[in-house]
Structure 1
Amino acid sequence: MNTITREFSRTFADRNLGFITQERTERKTSRVGFLLLENFSLPCFTQALDVLVTANLISPGAVRVHTFSYNHAEVMSDLGIPIRPDTPLTDIRLSDLDLMVICGGLRAARTVPNWLSGLLKKIAKLPIALGGLWNGAWYLGAAGLLDGYRCAIHAEQRTALAERAPYANVSHDPLVFDRNRMTSATPNGAFDMMIRWLSHGASPQLADAVLDTLDSDQSKHRSFQKPQQPKVSKALREVIALMEANLEEPLCPEQLAQVVGLSIRQIQRLFKDQLNTTPQKYYFQLRITEARRLIQNSNASIFDVSIACGFVSCTHFSRSYSAFFGHPPSKEVRYEI
């Protein structure tokens, strides 16, 4: 008996990337270091770190993260929470990095000690990208490493950096990517920066999957949008909202059309033009995706999950699940049991 396999559409592929059984392929691990300065911005650091940790949850081994400090000593954050670095600041450790991010903060010292200036200039000679969080650009600029580059820095030091590094183009943007320099001025900018780096250093698909996992309300909280993300009209959003609110008892095409005041043909055209799929396929993949989430995050039985997501036959649900994910629902990881 042949096994039927199905692929998710673009909309749902990102949401389910980490849960689809795939053949393991050789890939390059992206190695990122964070140099923590005294009074560094903990919100910026955790926003950036959350992206990378989530990437490893979705695709184990995709990223390796190292934290550094001067003399490998514990560093106090701007919120009074100390962080102990996990890696000594040695040449052999540095040479293994793809990106080194300087973590500054509002109360981080403006003076640039010789050890830091020398370290940054040493890194700049290696094939390593340099980044800065909050006012990390200040230290890069003071070391002459932003000459000819655009950069972002917190508004409190924007004018001062323009004076300190006259050959740098100091932007008002919260995030700037310019060749092998990337700088952000806010916690949201730090999040965006790591998403962009992940797309470059790992894969665009993994970056999209992380973004879908962590940022469910992009329109409200985000300044960075996924590349090639389709724009969804108000009418289509209404149809999708109806689908999301009616998983256990899916609405038929006639019911959807009646509620939103459109014809079935008009709804079909909206899905085709904006999401390159059909309403039936979208609804089905929505229900399969929500079933996966429910299995992973509850102790509900497979039968109860199938009913909750609109499958009248548990056998049909199991076959459909296996076709999309490569394993039956009974083999799915349970986080809450």
Structure 2
Amino acid sequence: MKTITRTFSRTFADRNLGFIAQGHTPCTVSRVGFLLLDNFSLPCFTQALDVLVTANLISPGRVRVHTFSHHHAEVISDLGIPIRPDTPLTDIRLSDLDLLVICGGLRAARTVPNWLLALLNKVARLPIALGGLWNGAWYLGAAGLLDGYRCAIHAEQRTALAERTPRANVSHEPLAYDRNRMTSATPNGAFDMMIRWLGQGTTPVLADAVLDTLDYDRSKHRAFQKPQQPKLGKALRDIIALMEANLEEPLGPEHLARVVGLSIRQVQRLFRDQLNTTPQKYYFQLRITEARRLIQNSSASIFDVSLACGFVSCTHFSRSYSAFFGHPPSKEIRYDV
């Protein structure tokens, strides 16, 4: 029997595209290294790392992450929590990177050691982008690697960096992304920086999937990737809320229309004009999307999931699931077991 393939509308593509099988097309792998300095900002580091770890959860193997320290020794963060690097700081390891991020912090030393200056100048001669978290720009500037670049640094050192590196354009923004230099001054800036890197280093689709998975609604990211979703009117929002609250026993079109005081034809027009789909298709894609979430995040049986999401036939549910996701629900990844 021929396998039927179905696609999500734009609304649900954002929620599901990262989990849909993409065939055997070779994927771009982004290789990122974090050089941890003593008293580095753990919140900045974890915000950046969260993006990359989530990307690998959605699309395994798309990002390779390495952590380094000077002597491959344990490093104490600004919160007093020790982190043990996983990779020796060798020329071979560094040459394999696409991006090296210097992780600084409020109490990180202002004096730049000779080994770090030598390392940064060596890396700058390679086709590797350089980044900095919190005051990471301080070390890049000391090595002369920010001349002619915009950069971001925590407010504590902003004036000092501008005086010490007059050829750099020190920004007041939490993130500066300028060609092959990217620097952030805050944890949120670190998150934004990695999303930008992910969108360019792999695919914008994967960056969008990370944002959706982390429920991180940042229109400034999506603006350069795709048109934003239209704003929904109150009547349509009310209908969607009804659908979301009634997955196990889906409401009929007459019931939905009656609750919001509209005709079935008017409801159909709302979905067509604002979401470019039909109420039936939207409801169905909502149910199949929630079914995937339930499978991934619970130990419920496939049969119970199908009932919870309004599918009276387990066979129909399995066929529909395979059509959208490229595999049956029994093959879905479960994070709760």
Give TM class, smaller chain: over 0.9
CA-CA distance at 1:251 after TM superposition = 2.5
Amino acid in structure 1 at the alignment position of 2:206: L
Unaligned runs of 5+ in 1: none
Contact 2:78 2:105 in 1 (8 A): yes
Using the alignment, how far apart are the partners of 1:264 and 1:149 within structure 2?
57
- Stretch moving more, 115-124 or 189-198: 115-124
CA-CA distance at 1:336 after TM superposition = 2.4
Using the alignment, how far apart are the partners of 1:11 and 1:123 within structure 2?
42
Contact 1:150 1:176 in 2 (8 A): yes
CA-CA distance at 1:234 after TM superposition = 4.5
- Stretch moving more, 34-43 or 24-33: 24-33
Partner SS state of residue 132, structure 1: strand
Using the alignment, how far apart are the partners of 1:262 and 1:141 within structure 2?
62
Identity %: 82
Q: 1:238 to 1:144 in 2, by over 3 A?
A: farther
Contact 2:243 2:250 in 1 (8 A): yes
- Aligned twin of 1:218: 217
- Is residue 272 of structure 1 aligned with residue 272 of structure 2? yes
Q: 1:156 to 1:254 in 2, by over 3 A?
A: farther
CA-CA distance at 1:82 after TM superposition = 0.8
Deviations 1:266-301 (A, max 9, x none): 544443344332222222111101101111222222
- Stretch moving more, 167-176 or 191-200: 167-176
Q: 1:65 to 1:7 in 2, by over 3 A?
A: same
Contact 1:17 1:58 in 2 (8 A): no
- Aligned twin of 1:149: 149
- Runs of 4 or more, structure 1, over 6 Å off, are none
Q: 1:265 to 1:160 in 2, by over 3 A?
A: farther
Contact 2:45 2:190 in 1 (8 A): yes
Q: 1:328 to 1:121 in 2, by over 3 A?
A: same
Partner SS state of residue 34, structure 1: strand
Deviations 1:303-330 (A, max 9, x none): 2211111122222212211111122222
- Stretch moving more, 109-118 or 226-235: 226-235
Q: 1:73 to 1:201 in 2, by over 3 A?
A: same
Deviations 1:35-74 (A, max 9, x none): 1010001111111111111111111111111111112121
- Is residue 134 of structure 1 aligned with residue 134 of structure 2? yes
- Aligned twin of 2:166: 166
CA-CA distance at 1:261 after TM superposition = 4.6
CA-CA distance at 1:31 after TM superposition = 0.6
- Aligned twin of 1:333: 333
- Aligned twin of 1:119: 119
Partner SS state of residue 32, structure 1: strand
- Aligned twin of 1:305: 305
Using the alignment, how far apart are the partners of 2:266 and 2:230 within structure 1?
17
Deviations 1:206-228 (A, max 9, x none): 111111111x1526xx8644532
Contact 2:11 2:229 in 1 (8 A): no
**Matches for 1:70-89 after TM superposition, within 5 Å:** 70-89=70-89
For the aligned residue pairs, the C-alpha RMSD in angstroms reads 2.0
TM-score by length of 2: 0.92
CA-CA distance at 1:124 after TM superposition = 1.4
Q: 1:272 to 1:167 in 2, by over 3 A?
A: farther
Q: 1:150 to 1:239 in 2, by over 3 A?
A: farther
Deviations 1:237-286 (A, max 9, x none): 43333322221122333333343455544544443344332222222111
CA-CA distance at 1:133 after TM superposition = 0.7
Using the alignment, how far apart are the partners of 1:313 and 1:47 within structure 2?
42
Partner SS state of residue 107, structure 2: coil
Unaligned runs of 5+ in 2: none
**Matches for 1:1-337 after TM superposition, within 5 Å:** 1-214=1-214, 216-218=215-217, 224-225=221-222, 227-228=225-226, 229-235=228-234, 236-337=236-337
Matched residue pairs, number? 334
Amino acid in structure 2 at the alignment position of 1:232: K
Contact 1:21 1:325 in 2 (8 A): yes
Deviations 1:99-149 (A, max 9, x none): 000101111111111111221122112111111111111111222211111
Using the alignment, how far apart are the partners of 2:230 and 2:131 within structure 1?
31
CA-CA distance at 1:97 after TM superposition = 0.7
Partner SS state of residue 256, structure 1: helix
- Stretch moving more, 109-118 or 326-335: 326-335
CA-CA distance at 1:27 after TM superposition = 2.3
Using the alignment, how far apart are the partners of 2:141 and 2:48 within structure 1?
21
Partner SS state of residue 318, structure 2: helix
Contact 1:18 1:57 in 2 (8 A): no
TM-score by length of 1: 0.92
